[in-house]
Structure 1
Amino acid sequence: MADMIAKRIGRRTLVGGLGALALARPAAARTRYVFGQDVGRLEFIARHLGVLTSTGRFENFSAELMIDPDSPLTASVDVTVHTAAVALAYPGAVDLLRSPAFFDVEHFPEASFRGAATGEGSLAGFVLAGELTIRGITRPHRMQGRLVDRRRDPALGRDIAEFSAGGELKRSDFGMTADQAAISDLIRLVVRARLIV
């Protein structure tokens, strides 16, 4: 009888142990994509005097996307932006944005976003949540992402996927409080990327 109980306990332990091993199995291999301004755009949009809108961009940034093809809504992203590489079509705007009143590029040459998809939504619209750092100040930040298009490129023999993501921030949360009468506090960030998958 004792032997029979010991065998049952042993069998349960073995089955439980195998179940734990199955749960502890590493996730499917994630694919790493690295991209920058060559295949992507990183823009910011502001309103002026409540009437006009201006769109600027960063011309030097690098991004790393880690994605499991079987579970794309668990992707993670890590973006680094070189703040001096800012472009805006208004006279004097670039110098103003590089100045201590805004990005203060001498003291803070980089800004960054590190986050991940939360699993909410679908490829037509999903949430990216993480931390945005500008001027050495880090704040929680959420963006809405989506798969814009995915198509086969016959010349490459591979798929091309186009993604976009957008979100809003208050520049005052990052110490940029100058010219509040002329430039909106609310700024919209927009990221676009075209990847070979």
Structure 2
Amino acid sequence: MARQTIGRRAVVAGLGGAVAFGRPALARTRYVFDHSGGRLEFVARHLGVLSSTGRFEDFAAELLIDPDRPLTTDVQVTVRTGAVALAYPGAVDLLRSPAFFDVERFPEARFNGRATGEGTLARFPLIGDLTIRGITRPHRMEARLVDRKRDPALGRDVAEFSGGGTMKRSEFGMTAEPAAISDEIRLVVRVRIII
């Protein structure tokens, strides 16, 4: 199995899928990347009228890609829950507290999933297990190919993907502030893969 480390030029996030560009593949390729250039965000509604967007500033991910069958890509993401950022006074402390991520007891959250082989690169499902606060639930995301082009400076092809899915925080024991913060939280991810 080949291993490639993707640095700052590869925007990171937790979704799978890459594009086969007509080259033969002998094995699945392993791509390892982190938060150094990418985005892993969450969006919550407040009082039914406002929304806020936060992000995780420390995570690591791995994709296992078969270039001949990119819609069967495996993805694993580990997030440091204490590395949460939100631009509202007191919000970070609240999210780190026992009422939400409880970072002292549960310093990591995880997603392990796979593209199902269905759909097209324009839109495909990614399903797996999301673990937060030691609680694991099934989770589904919809991913799509945003752009694919040749990077002349790299001399290689680059594929950019985005995806999103909705989780219910109450299913992970985060039930505080129900009148002020929506139960449904939208997860948004972006990835740029250098092929």
Classify the TM-score, shorter chain. 0.7 to 0.9
The one-letter amino acid paired with 2:53 is T
1:40 shift after superposition: 2.1
- How big is the shift at 1:163? 1.1
- Deviating runs (4+, > 2 A) in structure 1? none
Letter in 1 for 2:138: P
Match for residue 12 of structure 2? none
Aligned with 1:128 (options 109, 126, 129): 126
- Of 20, 32, 41, the residue aligned with 1:43 is 41
User: Runs of 5+ in structure 1 lacking a partner?
Assistant: 1-26
Q: 1:61 aligns with which of 50, 59, 65?
A: 59
Q: Which residue of 2 aligns with 1:79?
A: 77
- Taking only aligned residues, the RMSD between alpha carbons, in angstroms, comes to 1.0
CA contact (8 A) 1:39 1:194 kept: no
Bigger helix share: 1
The higher relative CO (CA closer than 8 Å, separation ≥ 6) is in 2
- The gaps in structure 2 that reach 5 residues or longer are 1-24
Say which is worse superposed, 140-149 or 27-36, in terms of deviation. 27-36
SS for the counterpart of 2:36 is coil
The amino acid of 1:179's aligned partner reads E
Residue 20 of structure 1 aligns with which residue?
Answer: none
Residue 180 (structure 2) pairs with residue 182 (structure 1): yes
Q: Normalising by structure 1, what TM-score?
A: 0.85
Aligned to 2:189: 191
Distance 1:137 1:28 in 2: 37
Q: What residue identity is the alignment partner of 2:121?
A: L
Show the counterpart of 2:137.
139
Q: Give the partner amino acid of 1:85.
A: A
Match of 1:10 in 2: none
Aligned residues: 171
TM-score by length of 2: 0.86
The Cα of 1:133 is off from its aligned counterpart by: 0.1
Instruction: Spell out, residue by residue over 1:71-123, the C-alpha distance to the aligned partner (whole angstroms, 9 max, x if none).
Output: 10000000000000000000000000000000000000000000000011000
* Displacement of 1:165: 1.5
Q: Deviations over 1:46-80 (max 9, x none)?
A: 00000000000000000101111111000000000
Contact between 1:39 and 1:193, CA under 8 Å: does it hold in 2? no
Once residues 37 and 85 of structure 2 are traced to their aligned partners in structure 1, the CA distance between those partners, rounded to angstroms, is: 17
User: Match of 1:167, as an amino acid?
Assistant: G
Give the whole-Å Cα distance in 1 for the aligned partners of 2:173 and 2:153: 48
Deviation at 1:195, TM superposition (A): 1.8
1:118 corresponding residue in structure 2: 116
Greater C-alpha radius of gyration: 1
The SS at the match of 1:108 is: coil
Q: Distance in 1 between matches of 2:34 and 2:162?
A: 14
Q: Secondary structure at the match of 1:95?
A: helix
**Who is 1:5 aligned against?**
none
